[in-house]
Amino acid sequence: MGPSTQSSNRQDEIPQVVFSMGDPNGIGPEITLKALQVLLKSRSFKPIIAGNNHCLRKTGEEMSISIPWEQVEIVEAGDRPFQPAWGRKDKAAGELAFSSLQKAVEICRGRNIPSLVTAPVNKESLIMAGFRYPGQTEYLAAAFSSQKFCMAFLSNSFHLLLATIHIPLSQVPAHLDHRDLFEKCCLFHQALSRILASPRIAVCGLNPHASENGVFGDEENRIILPAVKELKTKFGDSSFSGPYPPDTVFNKTSSGQFDAVVAMYHDQGLIHLKLLAFESAVNTTLGLPVYRTSPAHGTAFDIAGHNLANPGSMIAAVGWGLQMAYPHKVVQAE
């Protein structure tokens, strides 16, 4: 399922991007404003921030972040001005982060805007505020009533799909399913086809050495290989290949043999991605009726409020989101 861009892609319209401000005690407001400070000088789009006006403007003032506020629409979240307690996990911050996310969804749905950028949140603060989802990805899938969704990452080094997301490592084998893997890979190919002409996607095995034909496990032969064969039939022989040994496939990708990798679990893929593209990698949720992107890092409570946050991943999140949502109207992501 892909986003509906019927009205949004008209050539006479300026692209619009909806932001949720993230945890106000973290670096979300800072990197959002810093990204806009850079991007609004070179790109034509309308930013709409679901957040707390007082917190955003105070952050901009204290950190000397200069943006053209007249070009930015702020849709108020929360019922009172919020004063950040930098680096602190608390219920009030979680409530505002949750409210901002809910408001951002409402804006996207109500105005038919295809690009959503979410700033980092703190899960403990969200839980204090009554949030009952493993993360923003799962909340957005529920909010948009998306039955099939997946987490992927975009970067200038390589692109990444996670077959499983936020589950204990011990539960990964039980959660791997041929049909589920096939459907997530279809969503991944559909998204990559908006930014690449013919994406070449390598699929990891689960076990060491991709099990060496069953020596170390049967998941490759029973689940992964059948999905790869079905994907080749659907998209062509050069589209998907594998399963490859997880300890060598990322080296092959870095050398240019592949554009993207499908990892079987969270750390199998993200350790490599964050090693090679920590400042520029972007989290994206596929299968929603919008293109959702987010920085691939967290709230960085240790530097929050010190004007030290690097907006690189947020800049990339906006760039990739614009490129996927408005592929005929924007340039390459940063």
Summarised one tens digit per residue, pLDDT across range 66-110 is 999 999 999 999 888 999 999 999 999 999 999 999 999 999 999
Q: Is residue 148 located within the same domain as residue 166?
A: no
* Neighbouring residues of 34: CB distance < 8 A, sequence distance ≥ 6: 65, 309, 311, 314
Q: Dihedral sign for Cα 256, 257, 262, 266, please.
A: negative
Q: What is the pLDDT of residue 329?
A: 65
Residues 64 and 13 in one domain: yes
User: What is residue 24's predicted lDDT score, i.e. its pLDDT?
Assistant: 97
Residue found by looking up tokens 């689960």 in the block: 206
**Are 10 and 147 within one domain?**
yes
Would you state the pLDDT for residue 333?
45
| CATH label of the domain that carries residue 301 | 3.40.718.10
What angle, rounded to 10 degrees, do the helices at 28-39 and 312-325 form?
Answer: 60
Domain limit, last residue, from 256, 279, 302: 279
In a shared domain, residues 259 and 307? no
Q: 């990322």: which residue's tokens?
A: 250
Same domain, 152 and 166: no
Q: Are residues 21 and 129 in the same domain?
A: yes
Q: How far is CA 231 from CA 152, 178, 192, 238, 240, in A?
A: 18, 11, 14, 10, 7
Q: Are residues 195 and 127 in the same domain?
A: no
139 and 100 share a domain? yes
Stretches in the chain below the pLDDT threshold 50:
1, 4-11, 331-334
H/E stretch holding 289:
none
Question: Would you state the pLDDT for residue 12?
Answer: 52
Provide the pLDDT for residue 9.
42
The predicted structure's pLDDT at residue 1: 45
Is-cis flag, bond preceding 243, omega within 30?
A: yes
Q: What is the pLDDT of residue 278?
A: 81
Cα dihedral 323→327→329→333 (10° resolution): 20
How many domains does the chain fold into? Answer: 2
Note whether 3 and 141 are same-domain residues.
yes
Q: Do residues 329 and 247 both lie within one domain?
A: no
Same-domain status, 2 and 147: yes
| 10 lies in the same domain as 111 | yes
Output the six-digit token pair for 330: 């924007």
Domain of residue 42, residue span: 1-156+280-334
